[in-house]
Amino acid sequence: MIKRIAWASAILSVSWATATIAGEELVSSFTLDNGMQVVVVEDHRAPVVQHMVWYRAGSADEPKGQSGVAHYLEHLLFKATDTLESGELSSTVAANGGKDNAFTSHDYTAYYQRIASDRLELMMRMESDRMVNIRLTERDIVTEREVILEERNQRTDNNPRALFREQSNAVQYHNHRYGVPIIGWRHEMETLDMEDALSFYGTYYAPNNAILVVSGDVDPDEVKSLAEQYYGVIPANPDLPQRLRTEEPPQTAARRLTYKDARVAQPYVQRSYLAPERDSGSQEQAAALFLLAELLGGGTTSYLANALQFDQQTAVYTGAFYSGMSLDDTTFSFLVVPSEGVSLQEAEDALDQTYAAFLEDGVDTEQLDRIKLQLRASEIYARDNVDGIANRYGRALTSGLTVEDVQAWPDILQAVTAEQIIATAKQVIQPEVSVTGWLMRDEEITQ
């Protein structure tokens, strides 16, 4: 493979962003000369640190025909490098009393270690090494390809709900890569090879495509010094492609699907709508959708639960979901699990009628106030989790948001009005951008 690293001794300057306090979070941000962004979130209550490297490269950035290569490469990065034996990074973390792992999503791939704060330098040395010095063998390629195929067997192919979600997602997106499963389509996973993995690695695994997030018992000056020493000497990739994705054409027709499987234990109705994501500097609409989901299906006191589970007893479970953390358009979805003796059509009709009644009734302001109060409380509790803090910033920054957007989000949520929620619901929840799916047993009748 091409080696893209030259260990220089030059000290690179950084541009500091002023540290700010968001609630109790003390956040500092700086950028190395090679383009790598570093975010430090201080919490000195326990001698623990979370060290994470996030790459702006996920399954939606994969070349066509190579679905699953981002996740495949994530596995391969635990193999050997120029200085580490295969598996040595993880065994070193464990020997030092820490834990490590990695994960892949549509918009990012992230690697992390949670360990005692005095081991931070060791983590940076190993993580920066595998950013550029991976060494793969054909045995690695074959072995890990078998591993990811077995992972697909366990998590998707042997789970009718996962297969149903996969098909629903593929129908929701006509043209965008979000319609391709993160783990990949099996027939394409089976053909992934050394060239595919190293091509993705050589293109996207570079400091100017990465974000380092360090949270916990750390000093920003120390993090700056270590980041310069270990990451700052890695040259940027001058050929890093612009992050352009295929765009969705206008969706003008509601779509339906029925998925039948003899293994289905509990049939249900799911409906999703294409919806806007959180946009940098403009998160108000996403905040309204977030609160709409909480009001409609955020628990046993929600509108759908009161109407369908308790009043009508049409359903044993209801939910509404919105995940605005996404680089491109995301989804807003409903789920209704019907009670015994209630057909899927009856459950779907009840969902439509109840949602229409919600729009007619308007938002219960007392319920909205309770939700906002709960959100404030959850923000406070979240500060006790260095893992959650690092994840929040990493996911946001790889999804096109900024540190300032993350800090502004809680206040934006608090400022959303009942009128804004209803107006956003009427604008976004439209039939032509919907996919309605029925998950059924083989023997069930659809009508």
- Residues belonging to the active site: 74
On whether the CB atoms of residues 151 and 162 are closer than 8 A, the answer is no
**Cβ atoms within 10 Å, residue 68:** 28
> What element of type H or E holds 362?
none
> Counting Cβ atoms within 10 Å, is residue 12 exposed (0-12), middle (13-18) or buried (19+)?
middle
Burial (CB count <10 Å: 0-12, 13-18, 19+), residue 161: middle
Provide the sign of the torsion angle of the four alpha carbons 331, 108, 200, 209, taken in this order: positive
Tell me the three state secondary structure of residue 71: helix
CA distance 276 to 244: 17
The token pair at 128 is 């920066």
Cα–Cα distance for residue pair 277/285, rounded to 1 Å: 8
How is residue 251 written in tokens? 């969706």
Q: Residue 57: left if φ>0, alpha if ψ -120 to 50, beta else—which one?
A: beta
Q: CA 395 → CA 19, 189, 284, 307, 392, distances in Å?
A: 20, 25, 19, 35, 6
State the pairing for strand pair 37-42/210-216: parallel
Q: Is 42 helix (H, G, I), strand (E, B) or coil?
A: strand
Q: How far is CA 40 from CA 116, 122, 123, 133, in A?
A: 16, 17, 15, 25
